[in-house]
Amino acid sequence: MSSLKFGTSGLRGLVADLVGWPSYAYAGAFFRSVGATSCASRTAVIGRDLRDSSADIAATVATAAAAAGFAAIDCGPLPTPALALEAIRRGACAVMVTGSHIPQDRNGLKFYRPDGEITKADEAAILAALGDVSAVGTMPAPVAATPDPDVVERYRRRYSAAFAPDILAGLRVAVYQQSSVARDLLADLLAGFGAEVTPIGRSDTFVPIDTEAHRPEDVTYIAETMASGAYDALVTTDGDADRPLVADAAGGILRGDVLGLITARYLGADAVVVPVTAGSAIERAGGFAQVLRTRVGSPFVIAGMEQAQRAGAKTVAGFEANGGFLLGSDVALGGSVLPALPTRDAMLPILATLAAARDAGLPLA
């Protein structure tokens, strides 16, 4: 029996069950169902993380896109939120090849409409179009996607254009690079905002960083790194950079929902949407006109954000216990505007948490 199934964030399973025909079949079902009804541009942007299997699966997705009549754009290795932002910009569908935080022997597909993540109803439509994936068909000859090397830079500009250039001045930050697809971008972005950045722990082997259920070896590595006293904070992300991890000067890892709370306050959100697994400190902290609880999974958080907006909330944000932050509204920051990005993002909570601590003159602990 195949291990492939939709969970709280896309399709996941063993690499052995995904490569080849299954990835072609699932991608094709997406393009024929959700893509056909939501993507007038008939364009698909495709990205991937740094797992060994991701490049080949991405090439298969590009072939499936072409077979369905879509122009495939290869965005290369990049954060999932960067791909989602590009899909919004182009009015395109998107497929991200990533297993997020799970081990190297597994991988997955995340699907996006031009307006953001697919819904549970969209998942049902994909499965209806899929049919019996165990009946292996014949794939057409590979069709290469057209490269676009500028997508990551457009994602970087989302933040460099919205925040003041000195918001992190004076902070000493260790960037645990490991195999995160954002490892270079994160270091460069923080340095661009004035932080003294030290990249550490780069790995050519995939490291399954889980920002919620921390591996003992990661906890130990972070504690030993911070014991030197050389850094005010350590930051990193999971494999596809939609979940952040932030540790304080003593090596203590901040809870993901605490990062979300800090970020929502920093942005001046009046309504926040969180799953039932997020801590009760969100209500106790006060400061929000509305706190809405949902089932676990970003599709439910997004539906909750849309509900809050219909109810009249002006600035709506969502976040999960893993730290992934979803921005449902445009936010004014001084004289600039940070546009909405209703998908999990690691960069925003890292920036906002560090900036909030610096503004307050307080340590992160």
Question: Known catalytic residues?
Answer: 100
Residues 6+ positions from 69 with CB-CB distance below 8 Å: 31, 42
Residue with tokens 């030993």: 224
Q: Which one-letter DSSP state was computed for residue 352?
A: H
Alpha-carbon distance 224 to 258, whole Å? 23
Look at strands 11-14 and 43-48 and give their pairing: unpaired
| Adjacent-strand bridge partners of 273 | 292, 318
Q: Residue 163 and residue 351: Cα distance in Å, rounded? A: 9
For residue 330, give the 3-state DSSP assignment. coil
Compute the C-alpha angle 314/282/214, nearest 5°.
120
Tokens of 291: 């706190």
Cα angle, residue 179 at apex, residues 174 and 181 outer, rounded to 5°: 95
How far from 179 is each of 7, 213, 267, CA to CA, in Å? 23, 18, 29
Helices (H), ranges, the chain: 15-18, 21-30, 36-38, 54-67, 80-90, 120-130, 151-160, 183-192, 216-226, 256-267, 281-285, 298-310, 347-360
CA dist 112 to 10, 66, 125, 135, Å?
10, 17, 13, 26
Q: Distance between CA atoms of 70 and 156, rounded to whole angstroms?
A: 27
> What 3-state class would DSSP assign to 246?
strand
State how far the Cα of 340 lies from the Cα of 319, in Å rounded to an integer: 14
Tell me the C-alpha distance between 33 and 213, whole Å.
35
